[in-house]
């Protein structure tokens, strides 16, 4: 079983749709959690951190459920520019600061 | 603000040739540094990480090595490239528990 698992998709949605991505992690000692966005042939870029209380940044909402070891990302009112691969990332919190990346969920927003 | 540089952006090398990829970070001190590889259509695989000058940890056995001669410099090397070394190589920096930030990457094709 992979340490971080994501639904690979692809998710194909029309503009304006709401889409949700899910991610599960297996290491209960994990300390910090993030969502990254990766455009085709580019480096991953931090989208947002994920907190237990949930956090929102504009059209994006991230949730963490430590008991279920589950992370989610909700995108409201999808834009064409949201088309990308979304990576779920879990950090073990050791001095090495190693992060484990999910394989990503691909989103295509269509007009 | 922090900046991370990687070069070259693209590289085509014959099988059996040596490799040297360089990564430098500006605007932060004593960062953790990481080398990842991403095969086409796949997730990120952590290759090496470093918590300080001269300190290198390898995650997977392979044909590659890494060095950290200065606090903000990280080098990925190989004496003889294999076809399987082709991929997108990403350098990242971060601090424990925190998010990581990626350089623009080097796309390596071994022929």
Give the per-residue pLDDT at A92: 83
Give the per-residue pLDDT at B93: 96
Residue B19 pLDDT greater than 90, yes or no: yes
The verdict on A62 touching B (C-beta cutoff 8 Å) is no
Q: In this predicted model, which residue has the larger pLDDT, B96 or B35?
A: B35
Chain A residues lying within 8 Å of B99, measured CB to CB: 32, 34, 46, 49, 89, 91
Per-residue confidence in pLDDT tens, chain A, 111 aa? 889 999 888 999 999 999 999 999 999 989 899 999 999 999 999 999 998 888 999 999 999 999 999 999 999 999 999 999 999 999 987 777 889 999 999 999 999
Chain A residues lying within 8 Å of B34, measured CB to CB: 98
Residue B83 pLDDT greater than 90, yes or no: yes
Encoded tokens for A61: 């909402």
Chain A residues lying within 8 Å of B32, measured CB to CB: 96-97
CB contact under 8 A, A97 and B96: yes
Give the per-residue pLDDT at A68: 94
The verdict on B41 touching A (C-beta cutoff 8 Å) is no
* Residue B90: band (very low, low, confident or very high) from pLDDT cuts 50, 70, 90: very high
CB contact under 8 A, A96 and B94: no
User: How is chain B classified by DSSP, letter by letter?
Assistant: --EEEEE-SEEEE-TT--EEEEEEEES-SS-EEEEEEE-TTS-EEEEEEEEETTEEEESS--S-EEEEEETTEEEEEESS--GGG-EEEEEEEE-TTS-EEE---EEEEE-
The verdict on B16 touching A (C-beta cutoff 8 Å) is no
Residue B61 pLDDT greater than 80, yes or no: no
CB contact under 8 A, A97 and B101: no
Give the per-residue pLDDT at A85: 96
């Amino acid at each position: 079983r992979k340490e971080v698992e994501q639904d690979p998709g692809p998710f194909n949605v029309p503009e304006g749709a709401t889409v949700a991505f899910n991610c599960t992690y297996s290491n209960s000692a994990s300390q910090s959690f993030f969502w990254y966005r990766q455009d085709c042939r580019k480096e991953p870029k931090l989208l947002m951190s994920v907190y237990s209380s949930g956090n929102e940044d504009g059209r994006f909402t991230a949730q963490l459920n430590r008991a279920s070891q589950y992370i989610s990302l909700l995108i409201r009112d999808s834009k064409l520019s949201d088309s990308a691969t979304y990576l779920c990332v879990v950090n073990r919190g050791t001095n090495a600061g190693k992060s484990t990346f999910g394989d990503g969920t691909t989103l295509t927003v269509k007009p | 603000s922090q900046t991370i540089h990687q070069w070259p952006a693209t590289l085509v090398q014959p099988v059996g040739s040596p490799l040297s990829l360089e990564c430098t970070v500006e605007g932060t001190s004593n960062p953790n540094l990481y080398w990842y590889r991403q095969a086409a259509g796949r997730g990120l695989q952590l290759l090496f990480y470093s918590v300080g000058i001269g300190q290198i940890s390898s995650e997977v056995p392979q044909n590659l090595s890494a060095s950290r001669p200065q606090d903000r410099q990280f080098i990925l090397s190989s004496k003889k490239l294999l076809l399987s070394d082709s991929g997108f190589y990403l350098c990242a920096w971060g601090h424990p528990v925190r998010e990581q930030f990626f350089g623009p990457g080097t796309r390596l094709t071994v022929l």
